[in-house]
Structure 1
Amino acid sequence: MKLDRITSNPNRMNGQPCIRNLRLTVRRVIELLAIYPDRQELRQEFPELEDEDIQQALIFTSSYLDDRIIDLPINYETVA
């Protein structure tokens, strides 16, 4: 997929990847998805953010994650 909505400009937001040259970083979009699980509420707060922006931010972010095993603590209360 072409990530044509992800931009980077050294003179804007310290060169962090942004959405369409807006002052809205990819990292902020991911944070907003966690804060606003209801997309309608997210759209009300950030009307400039489009569905394609969100999709490309997720794809961009996932491309930086390695497939690796991370040891997590076992919660024996939830293990059946």
Structure 2
Amino acid sequence: MSYQNIITIESGKRSGKPCIRGMRITVYDILEYLAGGMTEAEILEDFSELTPEDIKACLAFAADREKKLFMASV
């Protein structure tokens, strides 16, 4: 999945953390909710402005960042 059009980074928003479509919801927020046991459906219910593609983009962004960190350490 391509996340480049969904995940945005703005220096003046949430201290430059990666956010979803310029909103104040960060990738970290979504990952924390998922790690805490919330389902995608529960997140979408709590945040009606989000889409299933937004959540997938967060996962793809995190996976890509992890891959880049690993490759840099090899």
Q: Which residue of 1 aligns with 2:19?
A: 18
Unaligned ranges ≥5, structure 2: none
Query: Structure 2 length as normaliser, TM-score?
Result: 0.77
Q: Which moved more, 1:58-67 or 1:9-18?
A: 58-67
Residue 28 in structure 1 maps to residue 29 in structure 2: yes
The Cα offsets for residues 5-47 of structure 1, whole Å up to 9 and x where unpaired, read as 0101111111111000100011111111223433222222111
Query: Residue type of the partner of 1:30?
Result: L
- Identity score, percent: 33
Q: Which residue of 2 aligns with 1:57?
A: 58
Q: Which residue of 2 aligns with 1:45?
A: 46
Query: Structure 1 length as normaliser, TM-score?
Result: 0.72
Q: Which has the higher helix share?
A: 2
Q: Is the CA contact 2:8–2:22 (under 8 Å) kept in the aligned structure 1? A: yes
RMSD: 1.6
Query: Residue type of the partner of 2:41?
Result: Q
Corresponding pairs, count = 67
Unaligned ranges ≥5, structure 1: 68-80
